[in-house]
């Protein structure tokens, strides 16, 4: 929360420069370097502090004299995201970027950051499109945990209508409430403004984890957040999809083995079998994968031999007979983070069980798609997939009959048909 001053030689006591004001008010402070060439601050300097309110997600700036004991002085806080604050060398004039979900970042100039003059007009063409809004939503999970997330609605939202909804998740994302999201095709995550503009609600819940039970934690927070939103008449509870990439892709795979509440699911680079992934390597770095299960993101908290039951419980592969949700998987053969055979295990397992499943493999592509042509390709397929299951649109050829390997790069399978997948 706060900014601290330390002595490199350790001979003086650390000093809380912001007096604990950040922690007391749930505000995160960070020093702003308004002079990009400066490498230090004078002990008597008045510094600018980047500020973020962790409760309402507003952002802005404070000022603080390093040689006094006063609390930081508020300059501006608003429902925007700020960046790139730079001061003129010989004048009290500042330029900075400011924007939010509805307005792409623009450049402003000001003498005090209160009265400002707009210098740019980025993305004026956005006014011609049905954009959207972003709002913070809160709920309580079945175990009594307080959680929050973001609900994106179309700009022309009508509370008298029912809307399909897609749920996207990856750790905690609510702090991005006021962040602008370009509508360009993404490397892997859900293209939120695109789907919102095309008549979907998009919900991004925060997830907190209990060590040893990452799967159950996802159920606790994601499902309860969805259930809280389903209480609104404008959410079509029968037309809800889920999408995630990497760690989020794993959670997609887990959720569909535990519930049938989702009408469609999309998993990018998922781990399906923690027992086999545990002994693998990250192909890009050569690093052994065991650390991430024992100590970091996968959160098992023990070796495979100490807690084999937890590795099995958190491996979707062992529960595939329970799956009824149609699933699309992206696993790429040059993925340096998640072994792509994890996607193959998931795909072949569901195919063997006669479940509705598709596997997309972009040759020589990474964990997150790099080539724009592939990003555009997956954007089209993702739209067609969710449009079919959540809006009742016709299914494309790639979903009804597939695209054989010998036709790859020649036939895309985008044509819509009257056939059923």
Question: pLDDT (tens digit, 0 to 9) for every residue of the chain, 421 residues total?
Answer: 999 988 888 888 898 999 999 999 999 999 988 888 777 888 888 899 999 999 999 999 999 998 888 999 999 999 999 999 999 988 999 999 999 999 999 999 999 998 999 999 999 999 999 999 999 999 999 999 999 999 999 999 999 999 999 999 999 999 999 999 999 999 999 999 999 999 999 999 999 999 999 999 999 999 999 999 999 999 999 999 999 999 999 999 999 999 999 999 999 999 999 999 998 888 888 888 898 999 898 999 999 999 999 999 999 999 999 999 999 999 999 999 999 999 999 999 999 999 999 999 999 999 999 999 999 999 999 999 999 999 999 999 999 999 988 898 889 999 999 999 9
Q: Where in the chain are all domains bearing CATH 3.40.50.1820?
A: 129-417
In angstroms, the CA 297 to CA 289 distance is 11
In angstroms, the CA 264 to CA 188 distance is 17
- Rounded to two decimals, the pTM is 0.94
The answer to whether the CB of 270 falls within 8 A of the CB of 343 is: yes
The answer to whether the CB of 166 falls within 8 A of the CB of 386 is: yes
What CATH superfamily classification does 129-417 receive?
Alpha/Beta hydrolase fold, catalytic domain (3.40.50.1820)
* Residue (of 42, 38, 58) closest to 50 by Cα position: 58
CA distances 270 to 51, 83, 94, 245, 249, Å, are: 35, 33, 45, 7, 4
């Amino acid at each position: 929360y706060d900014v601290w001053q330390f002595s490199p030689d350790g001979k003086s006591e650390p000093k809380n420069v912001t007096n604990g004001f950040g922690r007391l008010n749930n505000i995160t402070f960070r020093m702003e370097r308004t002079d990009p060439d400066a490498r230090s601050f004078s002990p008597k300097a008045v510094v600018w502090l980047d500020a973020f309110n962790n409760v309402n997600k507003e952002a802005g700036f404070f000022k603080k004299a390093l040689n006094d004991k006063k609390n930081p002085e508020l300059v501006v806080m608003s429902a925007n995201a700020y960046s790139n604050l730079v001061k003129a060398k010989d004048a009290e004039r500042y330029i900075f970027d400011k924007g939010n979900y509805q307005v792409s970042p623009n450049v402003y100039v000001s003498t005090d950051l209160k009265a400002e003059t707009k210098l740019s007009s980025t993305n004026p063409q956005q006014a011609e499109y049905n954009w959207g809004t972003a709002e913070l939503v809160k709920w309580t999970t079945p175990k009594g945990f307080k959680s929050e997330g973001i609900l994106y609605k179309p700009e022309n939202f009508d509370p008298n209508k029912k809307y399909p909804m897609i749920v996207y998740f990856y750790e905690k994302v609510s702090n991005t409430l006021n962040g602008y999201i370009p509508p360009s095709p993404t490397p892997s995550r859900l293209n939120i403004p695109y789907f919102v503009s095309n008549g979907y609600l998009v919900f991004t819940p925060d997830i907190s984890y209990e060590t040893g039970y990452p799967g159950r934690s996802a159920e606790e927070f994601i499902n309860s957040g969805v259930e809280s939103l389903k209480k609104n008449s404008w959410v079509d509870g029968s037309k809800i999809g889920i999408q995630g990439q990497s760690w989020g892709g794993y959670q997609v795979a887990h959720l569909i083995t535990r519930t049938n509440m989702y009408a469609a699911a999309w998993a990018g680079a998922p781990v399906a079998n923690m027992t086999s992934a545990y002994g693998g390597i990250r192909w890009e770095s050569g690093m052994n994968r065991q650390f991430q299960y024992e100590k970091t993101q996968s959160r098992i908290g023990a070796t495979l031999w100490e807690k084999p039951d937890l590795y099995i419980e958190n491996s979707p592969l062992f529960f595939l007979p329970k799956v009824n949700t149609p699933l699309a998987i992206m696993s790429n053969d040059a993925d340096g983070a998640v072994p792509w055979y994890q996607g193959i295990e998931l795909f072949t397992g569901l195919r063997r069980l006669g479940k509705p499943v598709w596997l997309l493999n972009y040759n020589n592509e990474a964990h997150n798609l790099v080539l724009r042509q592939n990003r555009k390709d997956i954007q089209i397929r993702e739209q067609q997939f969710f449009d079919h299951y959540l809006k009742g649109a016709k299914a494309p050829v790639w979903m009804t009959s597939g695209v054989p390997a010998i036709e790859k790069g020649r036939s895309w399978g985008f044509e819509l048909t009257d056939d059923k997948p």
